[in-house]
Amino acid sequence: MSESFITKVIEGYRITIPKSIREKFGLQEGDFIEAVIIRKIERTATVEVKESAN
């Protein structure tokens, strides 16, 4: 069984496994998992545009 998801690497090079994935696989703290890195995803900046009051 496999599942893919996108996550962010945070301080200390840690990642978070989404709750739905943890529940699906019955993961508990201390469990070992196999991780496969396919590629780094480049994130583009987003800009919020407000409508004019006219």
The overall pTM is greater than 0.75: no
Residue 16 CB coordination number (10 Å): 12
Architecture of domain 1-54 in this structure: Ribbon (2.10)
Ranges of beta strands (E only) in the chain are none
For 9-19, the pLDDT digits (tens) are 999 999 999 99
Computed over every residue of the chain, the mean pLDDT equals 90
pLDDT of residue 1: 82
42-45: long-range contacts, CB 8 A cutoff, minimum separation 24 = none
